[in-house]
Chain A
Amino acid sequence: MITVEALEGPQKITWCTGCGNYGILAALKKAIVELDISHEDYVLVSGIGCSGKIPHYINLNSFHTLHGRPIPVATGLHMANKDLHVLVHTGDGDCLGEGMGHFIHAARRNVDLAVFIHNNGVNALTKGQFSPAAPRGYISKTSPPPPGSPMEPVNGVAHAIVAGATFVARGYSGDQKMLVELMKAAITHRGFAVVDILQPCVTWNRKLTWRYFNERTYSLEEAGHDPTDRGLALQKAFEYNGKIPIGIFYRTEAPLLIDGLSLPDVPLKDHVTDRSRLQALIDDQIL
């Protein structure tokens, strides 16, 4: 069994004091400790931004990729070795802006990945510009008042449900207990699992604060939500402002991408093409 200490990351954390990412990292470590999966079989794939740095703060296999591209990299990795548990850590700017196309297509492919969106409504590492999930009116250097960010936010949960994700949840960095459970469920879910994780950016975002989320979030499970109903899940996904539901919105089973490809029984990595068979296929074409 792995311990939290053994997962201790090799690098000094550079997130701001009070950042919501600490809660995400802590929940991730707990989830890994609690799950009965060899820690050598995890791979963290991250994009760019504050979320992208998480692989350096935890001692696991990892690939820190490009802005917006962790999902296709993770997809290729999962294809190469289906025995691995591939976890994507991505920000809302990363996943729902630059990477939106990849996110939607991975959801409809039902790639067996667990995607954790660090959602703080800002592009933080580039110093506070509005991100795709920023509320309308969010004020930043690139969106001065009035009117602030001049558009509606991307609704990651709703997009995931519509696109075909088979596990869609929203977590909150300030609710560790639930977040650990959501992460565990996402990691063990067979299919494309998304956990949109609310997290305050204490430096830039004056609206989406710890207090803001503490006062508004409530548990879907406690409210008796039925996560097998897709229509209801979508309805809940649009509930915002006054109250913010967290927990599992939707969970279902569907064929995986790997089920639809001609992959061998062993991981692709361990498979060698039968070249005599290829030779036969070519020789068949000799006139």
Chain B
Amino acid sequence: MDLSINIGGMAGQGIDTIGDLLTKVFVKTGFYIFTVKDFESRIRGGYNFTQIRVADNPVHCSVDDIDLIVALSKDAISAKRDQLVEGGIIIFDDRFDFDALEECHYPAPLSKKAREVGGSTRMTNAAALGALLSVIRFPFSLAEQVLTEIFGKKGEKIVEANVRVARSLYDLTEETFSGSCRHNLSMIDSIPSENRLIINGNQAIAYGAMAANVKWVSSYPMSPSTSAFIEIVSHANDLKIGTLQTEDELASLAMAIGASYGGVRSMVTTSGGGFSLMVEALGLAGMTETPVVIYNAQRPGPSTGLPTRTEQSDLLFTIFASQGEFPRIVLAPRDPLDAFDVVTRSFNLAERFQVPVIILGDQYLADSVMNVPRIDVTNVEIDRGKLAADRLDDPYMRYRLTDDGISPRAFPGDRGRFIVSSGNSHLEDGHITEDPAIRNAMVQKFLRKITAIKDALKPPDLYGAKTTKTVVVTWGSPWGAVREAIEHLEHEGVSIGHLHFTDIYPLRTKLLKDVFTSAERVISIEHNATSQFAKLVTMETGLKFDGYITKFDGRPMTPRWVILQLKEVGI
């Protein structure tokens, strides 16, 4: 079973509410889900949708083909109709003129019943939900429980009215919908999934940071990163975490650097445009060797670009951002569950190597919802790196020259020592210098870290046989769509493998070189227009790809799209 439901309408019509509700209903009854949201940069009106994929096996991406459309506005019919599968169902408000009716199309009195039964057309979304549950033969009692939970906060009266409206459409649909094209989700005894925690990428980032003992988060709001910050702020009182919405992004990172110098784990959340503003402070973190974690939920640029949509186009900017040269680490989670792992590792890497760590998420990752196993935060490993011993027989030097390039850290307030940091070139004791020999020694100290960082990063994942004819290379969030596409192609007998990077920079090159040696053809797939990761690979290794698949319309990849593109480049 693998069913795709698209609920569309105007911003403000409660699309999100039905989407969240349905997602919960399905997960609660044991299905796997993957939910994405597509919305415009406006508060009301326009055309938005939530797309829920329901399956009895784990799914990691959204799909093109839609089995069922619930349309709360006329645009919602016209926008998605082409993607409806043969025999797919459209449920829509009978207020709309829609004359191309087929057997599976169901004009339902959604707003009418909402008004009559619930007393307000604002409950049209509850009516649509009732109709939908009926069409997929889903037991209403189970939905009712979840409905009560979700609306519960709004008070008993509102819950009761919504349930009544949903129920009325559920019953009415049983009687009146004559189409034979119904799905049957009533056999829910099997319960394929016990993964009952629903998270999106930004929540996973927030949970990971909190599990890693982040104590200071300063941020300026910017889509699509904001909800990660808000998730932490909303637990700040419970868990005693310092959080602040700052005057701008540069202040955010400067504060995080100050907090880290003071001895706490600190983080900022932003998107590409905000990261641009932070770049000056990024260099300060580099020069002062101050650990800090920067979460960049990318969106399409340049400039304001497509503010609510997705792209992976900040990679090269991230790697090269700031004047001067210093080591940094760049990681890109592949899905919400992976995001938790990535963020917890990022704090350890930042402190172990005393470098800024940048997590490259994107809108697709940030807002994608999936059900995951219970996350255990109690056993997250915390490695604060090399700290200065308490003994004070040596004078403390913040930038002591060491073989591994890492100088022991201490924090202001420690007795018997002073911690001197500077964004200028400095001596071992932290005070400024323009001495050429010291300058050389300090830069070499920096750069010595890179080898050890590479060893500490995770190698890419190689899927498929060691010697496939074609190998596809990806990084970050396209993982889900590409993985599914390639599994499908393998099933068709195509000789194809997949190399995926989560830990991006500094780049580990061994598996890349192996793949380029063994495969006839290596193809990159990225969510940007200029194949930035492929460029990075070529820059670091001299290896050239045989094909470049790019997507930069702001919409996520789907397995079908990936398959079509791969076939076009001739696999």
- A residues adjacent to B (C-beta < 8 A): 10-11, 40-41, 43, 45, 53, 55-56, 59-66, 69, 72-81, 83-84, 101-102, 104-105, 257, 261-264, 267-269, 271-279, 281-283, 285-287
Min CB–CB distance B145 → chain A (angstroms): 10
Which residue on chain A has the smallest CB distance to residue B380? A275
Which residue on chain B has the smallest CB distance to residue A62? B420
Interface members, chain B 246-268 (any A CB < 8 Å): 246-248, 250-252, 254-264, 266
* Contact status A263-B254, CB under 8 Å: no
Q: Which residues of B contact A264 (CB under 8 A)?
A: 240
Min CB–CB distance B387 → chain A (angstroms): 13
Q: Which residue in A66, A269, A278 is a CB contact (below 8 Å) of B263?
A: A269
* Contact status A56-B432, CB under 8 Å: yes
Which residue on chain B has the smallest CB distance to residue A76? B258
A98–B218 alpha-carbon span in the complex (Å):
20
Min CB–CB distance B59 → chain A (angstroms): 17
Min CB–CB distance B554 → chain A (angstroms): 30
Q: Mark B83-118, 1 if CB is under 8 A from A, else 0.
A: 000000000000000000000000000000000000
* Contact status B284-A83, CB under 8 Å: no
B197 CB within 8 Å of chain A: yes
A25–B260 alpha-carbon span in the complex (Å):
27
A230–B556 alpha-carbon span in the complex (Å):
56
Q: Mark B338-362, 1 if CB is under 8 A from A, else 0.
A: 0000000000000000000000000
B421 CB within 8 Å of chain A: yes
Given contact pairs A278-B235, A287-B196, a sample of 8 additional A-B residue pairs in the complex whose CB atoms are under 8 Å apart:
A63-B261, A65-B254, A72-B258, A105-B247, A269-B264, A269-B411, A277-B239, A282-B374
Min CB–CB distance A234 → chain B (angstroms): 23
Min CB–CB distance B178 → chain A (angstroms): 34
A75–B281 alpha-carbon span in the complex (Å):
14
B244 CB within 8 Å of chain A: yes
* Contact status A79-B262, CB under 8 Å: yes
B448 CB within 8 Å of chain A: no
A275–B134 alpha-carbon span in the complex (Å):
42
* Contact status A275-B24, CB under 8 Å: no
Q: Which residues of B contact A104 (CB under 8 A)?
A: 247
B236 CB within 8 Å of chain A: yes
A79–B264 alpha-carbon span in the complex (Å):
9
B422 CB within 8 Å of chain A: yes
User: Given A73-B257, A268-B216, A277-B239, do A282 and B412 touch, yes or no (CB 8 Å)?
Assistant: no
Min CB–CB distance B256 → chain A (angstroms): 6
Which residue on chain B has the smallest CB distance to residue A285? B197
Query: Which of B50-58, B206-214, B539-547 is the interface stretch?
Result: B206-214
Which residue on chain A has the smallest CB distance to residue B371? A287
B570 CB within 8 Å of chain A: no
Q: Which residues of B contact A61 (CB under 8 A)?
A: 412-413, 418-420
B524 CB within 8 Å of chain A: no
Q: Which residues of B contact A285 (CB under 8 A)?
A: 197-198
* Contact status B258-A102, CB under 8 Å: no
Q: Which residues of A contact B257 (CB under 8 A)?
A: 65, 73, 76
Interface centre among B24, B260, B411, B416, by most chain A C-beta atoms within 10 angstroms, is B411
Which residue on chain B has the smallest CB distance to residue A57? B431
Q: Which residues of B contact A63 (CB under 8 A)?
A: 258, 261, 288, 420-422
Interface centre among B258, B419, B429, by most chain A C-beta atoms within 10 angstroms, is B258
User: Given A84-B413, A281-B238, do A66 and B258 touch, yes or no (CB 8 Å)?
Assistant: no
User: Given A84-B262, A263-B240, A286-B197, do A76 and B423 touch, yes or no (CB 8 Å)?
Assistant: no
Min CB–CB distance B251 → chain A (angstroms): 4
Q: Which residues of B contact A53 (CB under 8 A)?
A: 432
Q: Which residue in A74, A79, A105, A278 is a CB contact (below 8 Å) of B239?
A: A278
Which residue on chain B has the smallest CB distance to residue A79? B242
* Contact status B242-A269, CB under 8 Å: no
Q: Which residues of A contact B235 (CB under 8 A)?
A: 278, 281
* Contact status B254-A269, CB under 8 Å: no
User: Given A76-B256, A105-B251, A273-B213, do A287 and B418 touch, yes or no (CB 8 Å)?
Assistant: no
User: Given A79-B216, A275-B377, do A69 and B254 touch, yes or no (CB 8 Å)?
Assistant: yes
A60–B421 alpha-carbon span in the complex (Å):
11
* Contact status B374-A286, CB under 8 Å: yes
Q: Which residues of B contact A278 (CB under 8 A)?
A: 207, 210-211, 235, 239, 377
Q: Which residue in B24, B241, B422 is a CB contact (below 8 Å) of A273?
A: B241
Q: Which residue in A40, A59, A81 is a CB contact (below 8 Å) of B415?
A: A40
A105–B244 alpha-carbon span in the complex (Å):
12
User: Given A40-B413, A63-B258, A278-B207, do A268 and B242 touch, yes or no (CB 8 Å)?
Assistant: yes
A281–B197 alpha-carbon span in the complex (Å):
12
Q: Mark B372-395, 1 if CB is under 8 A from A, else 0.
A: 001111101000000000000000
Min CB–CB distance B291 → chain A (angstroms): 13
Q: Which residues of A contact B131 (CB under 8 A)?
A: none
Interface members, chain B 504-522 (any A CB < 8 Å): none
A76–B417 alpha-carbon span in the complex (Å):
21
Q: Which residues of A contact B419 (CB under 8 A)?
A: 61
Query: Which 3 pairs of residues, A with B, have the shortest CB-CB distance?
Result: A76-B258, A80-B262, A76-B255
Min CB–CB distance A56 → chain B (angstroms): 5
Min CB–CB distance B432 → chain A (angstroms): 6
Q: Which residues of A contact B207 (CB under 8 A)?
A: 278, 282
Q: Which residues of B contact A75 (CB under 8 A)?
A: 251, 255, 258
* Contact status B247-A66, CB under 8 Å: no
* Contact status A77-B261, CB under 8 Å: yes
* Contact status A81-B412, CB under 8 Å: yes
* Contact status B262-A66, CB under 8 Å: no
Q: Which residue in B214, B281, B417, B418 is a CB contact (below 8 Å) of A66?
A: B281
* Contact status B423-A64, CB under 8 Å: yes
Q: Mark B178-211, 1 if CB is under 8 A from A, else 0.
A: 0000000000000000001110000000010011
B568 CB within 8 Å of chain A: no
Min CB–CB distance B233 → chain A (angstroms): 9
Q: Which residue in B374, B413, B420, B429 is a CB contact (below 8 Å) of A41?
A: B413
Q: Which residues of B contact A79 (CB under 8 A)?
A: 216, 242, 244, 255, 258-259, 262, 264
Q: Which residue in A77, A80, A287 is a CB contact (below 8 Å) of B215?
A: A80
Q: Which residue in B238, B240, B266 is a CB contact (below 8 Å) of A76?
A: B266
B243 CB within 8 Å of chain A: yes
Q: Which residues of A contact B24 (CB under 8 A)?
A: 287
Q: Which residues of A contact B65 (CB under 8 A)?
A: none
A84–B264 alpha-carbon span in the complex (Å):
14
Interface centre among A62, A78, A80, by most chain B C-beta atoms within 10 angstroms, is A80
Q: Which residues of A contact B255 (CB under 8 A)?
A: 72-73, 75-76, 79
